[in-house]
Amino acid sequence: MATRKLMKSKKYATPFAKLHAVSLLSQKDRIRKFAHAIGNAVTDGDYVIELGAGSGILSLLAAQAGAEKVTAIDINSSSIAYARQAARENNLDKTMEFVTSHYLEFKPEQKADVVICEMLSSMLLVEQQVTASFHAVSSFLREEGTIMPRRARVYAVPVSCHSILERFKWNGLVFPRVPQTVGSDQFTPLSETNLLAKFDFSKQTIPEKVDKTLEFSIQQESILTGVVGYFEVDLDEETTISMEDGWRHLFLPLKKAKHVQEGDSERIRIAYLPGQLDSLAIQLR
């Protein structure tokens, strides 16, 4: 009875978002690269806005770099509470403010000198990196201000990846195939990679959806089961981050696998709206 009353009297929200954000603190190489780029971008007296602040690590780095004020924004209240606590424990709370909000609903009192937006995901397909960055440039950033990251390139390669396909089967049951994150040891590349898309986050106009047919020369006999995508991102003119800095590749399964031979030429169309997983289309041509 007591447990039932407790569950009725208190709305419980899963802490997954906060736990995920805090787990990213283990990505030390990624943090070091951001710290270097933030140190180059932020000067004494700057106003900095961070979108998707998570644990608050990048906002704290901006405060340490000399920003006069840092606004950390995240849609998840438990992540914001954690970031606020971290600021207090590091004696940076007087420099920082914390806002629980969707970036589209946030209205800054002034334009920022630097905007940081780290919502990166493999292929820039799942999270809101592209749309949030372009909104930030048009709504939050002063003229001649700095957006971080600045640019991104997305690549794709045809692969054989049987182990992931087995996830969609169990004891006679089958499930719809959807994109899955994979480690580099879970797939076999069947060709050289091709450039799929480029994004310049300093522009104010959101690009149209990614829609490109890539041609690949198959290098070995195998079963083509899908495409793996990944990115390279320029934080500034001298610092680049990639999958090796703590991200997993994204496997896009084909509806039907195909036996391929060395020397075959395969054309694959990949189309999606960045940040909208349900918009993904992938097909052999």
92-118 tens-digit pLDDT? 999 999 999 999 999 999 999 999 999
Whole-angstrom distance, CA of residue 285 vs CA of residue 283:
6
For residue 112, the domain's CATH number is 3.40.50.150
pLDDT of residue 76: 94
Count of the separate structural domains present in the chain? 2
- Judged against a pLDDT cut of 80, whether residue 172 lies above it is answered with yes
Contact indicator for 90, 65 with CB cutoff of 8 Å:
no
Percent of the chain with pLDDT strictly greater than 70: 95
Tell me whether residue 278 is in a domain: yes
pLDDT band at 20 (very low <50, low <70, confident <90, very high): confident
- Judged against a pLDDT cut of 80, whether residue 2 lies above it is answered with no
Structural domain containing residue 225: 152-284
pLDDT of residue 59: 98
Residues 163, 114, single domain; the answer is no
Q: What is the mean pLDDT of residues 56-61?
A: 98
Tell me whether residue 142 is in a domain: no
pLDDT band at 17 (very low <50, low <70, confident <90, very high): confident
pLDDT of residue 11: 57
Between CA 223 and CA 227, with CA 224 as vertex, the angle to 5 degrees is: 150
Residues 6+ apart with CB under 8 A from 51: 73, 103, 115, 116, 117, 119, 132, 136
Alpha helices in 113-259 (DSSP H): 129-139, 162-165
Which run of H or E residues covers position 55? none
Tell me whether residue 134 is in a domain: no
pLDDT tens digit sequence for 217-261: 999 999 999 999 999 999 999 999 999 999 999 999 999 999 999
Residues 6+ apart with CB under 8 A from 246: 24, 26, 27, 29, 30
Residues 194, 271, single domain; the answer is yes
Both tokens assigned to 168: 């969609």
Residues 179, 237, single domain; the answer is yes
Both tokens assigned to 198: 């480029």
Residues 164, 272, single domain; the answer is yes
CA dihedral 25, 30, 31, 34 (to 10 degrees): -150
Tell me whether residue 279 is in a domain: yes
Whole-angstrom distance, CA of residue 228 vs CA of residue 188:
10
Nearest Cα to Cα of residue 234 among 189, 201, 276: 201
For residue 174, the domain's CATH number is 2.70.160.11
pLDDT of residue 12: 54
pLDDT of residue 252: 97
- Judged against a pLDDT cut of 80, whether residue 284 lies above it is answered with yes
Tell me whether residue 123 is in a domain: no
Tell me whether residue 137 is in a domain: no
Residues 109, 197, single domain; the answer is no
